[in-house]
Structure 1
Amino acid sequence: MSANPWAGEVGLTLDGRAHVLKLTLGALAGLEARLGAETLPALVERFEQGRFAARDVLELVAAGLRGGGWRGEMADLLEADIKGGPVEAARVAARLLSLAFAPPPPERP
C-alpha cells in the first residue's frame, strides 16, 4: 500500500501494518472543534511555529487514519506501536496538514 502525496496521502506504520492517511473535509471540520483552533490556518500556524501538543498530533493522525479507511478508535491509537515513534507521528501530522492545503498539481493536457 503506497501513499500518493498528490492525493493528499501520507503513509504510517501502526503495529507493523502499513496505513495510508488522508484528511477529508469532514475530518478537518472536526479537528477545528476538538483542537480548539479558531480556523484551519490557525491550526497550520501552530504546527509551523512548533506550538503543537501531543494531543494535536494524535488527533491529526487519528483523523488521517479514518480518512484512509481505518476503523479504529482513539483508544486503539493510544496503545498502538507507531513505527518511528512520536517524531514520526508529528512528521506525519504536519505532512497531512501541509498536503491538505497544498495547491493541486497542474492538469495535464
Structure 2
Amino acid sequence: MANRRRGEIEAVLDGEARVLVLTLGALAELEAVFGAGDLAALAARFADGKLSARDAARIIGAGLRAAGAEVSDDEVATMRAEGGAAGFARIVAELLAVTFGGEP
C-alpha cells in the first residue's frame, strides 16, 4: 500500500496495483534524462503540463524503479493503464504532485 507522506502513490498498470515514488535517485535520473540542472529546473520542466508519451514513460519508469520494480522505460511504454492515455496522464500528475507538492 502506498504512503503519500513518503511521496508514494499507487497505480494500476497492466491490471496490477503498483507503488511508485520519486526518490532523490529517481529525481537525479530524471534531471539527467531531461537535461535539467537542478530540482527547480526539473519542477519547472514539468509545471507547464506539456509532456510527451515518452516523457510519461520515463517518469512512470523512474517511479516504479525507485519503488523496487525492475522495469525499463521501454517496458513501461508497453503497459496499459485504465483510461488509456488519460490514465497515464493522471498517474504522472499524481506522482509529480505528491513529489513536488500541490494538486494533480
Q: Which bin holds the TM-score, normalised by the shorter protein?
A: 0.7 to 0.9
Q: Determine the structure 1 residue equivalent to 2:30.
A: 31
Q: Which amino acid in 2 is paired with 1:94?
A: A
Aligned partners of 2:5 and 2:47: how far apart in 1?
A: 21
Tell me which stretches of 4 or more aligned residues in structure 1 moved more than 6 Å. none
Describe the superposition over 1:42-73 as per-residue Cα deviations: whole angstroms up to 9, x where unpaired: 23223322222222211110010111111122
Number of matched pairs = 101
TM-score by length of 2: 0.83
Q: Does 1:22 align with 2:21?
A: yes
> 2:54, 2:77 within 8 Å by CA — same for their partners in 1?
no
Q: Determine the structure 1 residue equivalent to 2:60.
A: 61
More displaced 10-residue stretch of structure 1: 13-22 or 52-61: 52-61
Aligned partners of 2:61 and 2:25: how far apart in 1?
A: 13
Please identify the structure whose Cα radius of gyration is greater: 1
Aligned partners of 1:92 and 1:80: how far apart in 2?
A: 13
- Greater RCO between the two (CA within 8 Å, min separation 6)? 1
The residue correspondences of 1:89-104 to structure 2 (distance < 5 A) are 89-102=88-101
Q: For the structure 1 residues 23 and 36, does the alpha-carbon distance in structure 2 shift closer, same or farther, using more than 3 Å as the test?
A: same
Describe the superposition over 1:8-67 as per-residue Cα deviations: whole angstroms up to 9, x where unpaired: 011111111110100111110010111122332223223322222222211110010111
Q: Does 1:8 align with 2:7?
A: yes
TM-score by length of 1: 0.79
Q: Determine the structure 2 residue equivalent to 1:71.
A: 70
CA RMSD of aligned residues (A): 1.6
In structure 1, runs of 5+ residues without a counterpart are 103-109
Q: Which amino acid in 2 is paired with 1:35?
A: F
Aligned residues with identical type, % of pairs: 44
